[in-house]
Amino acid sequence: MGTDDYKASSEPAPRRAPALSASVHPAPSIGPFPRSDVVPGAMTPVSEGHYHGEQGMYLAASGTLTQFNAIMAALLTAALSLHVSLAVKAAIGLALAGHAAAGFLLCWAARPIANADGTPRLTAERLLYRSLVNYRRGWRATMLALTLSALALAVLAWQQLGPDLAALLR
C-alpha cells in the first residue's frame, strides 16, 4: 500500500495517552501547613505545574503593582518640589514612603527562591502559599499607600484651592 516500514498486524494501533488534567493528577489543596487530615499526594511534574502556574499569576500581579508604586513614587517626588507648606510636604513624604515600602514588599514577594544549583528549596505547594502571603502583604501596603496619597492630594488641593473656595462662599 505504501512505502512505510510498518507491516500490517492483527494488534490494534497503540492508543494515545489522554491529555493531562487535574483529574488525572490531582494536586493537594492549599491550606494551613502541615495538614494532618490529608495525606499529601505525590508531587509529580504535572501537579507541580499547577502550582507554578498559579505562582506565575501572583508574580505577574506583583510586577504590575510594583510598577504602579514606582509611578506613584515618581509623581509624589515631583510633588515634593512644589512650593507648599511643611504640613503638605510631610503628607506627600509619608505617601511617598508608603509607596516605596509597598514596592519593596512586592519585590520581596517576587524574589527567586532556589538553591545555588537552581533546584527549588521549597515544595511547589509551600512556594505558592508563600507567594500568596507575600503578595497579599504587598497589596495591602499598596492600598495603604494609595490611601495616604489620596489624603496628601486632599491636603494639597485644600491648600491650593481652599482660600479661593472660602472667598467664593463669602
Residue 108's pLDDT is what?
83
pLDDT tens figures, 33-77: 454 554 444 444 555 666 667 777 777 888 889 999 999 999 999
pLDDT tens figures, 99-152: 999 999 988 877 777 777 777 677 777 777 887 888 889 999 999 999 999 999
Q: Of the candidates 147, 35, 153, which has an alpha carbon nearest to the alpha carbon of residue 98? A: 147
pTM, two decimals, is 0.63
Instruction: Check the CA dihedral 158-164-166-169 and report its sign.
Output: negative
pLDDT tens figures, 154-166: 999 999 888 888 8
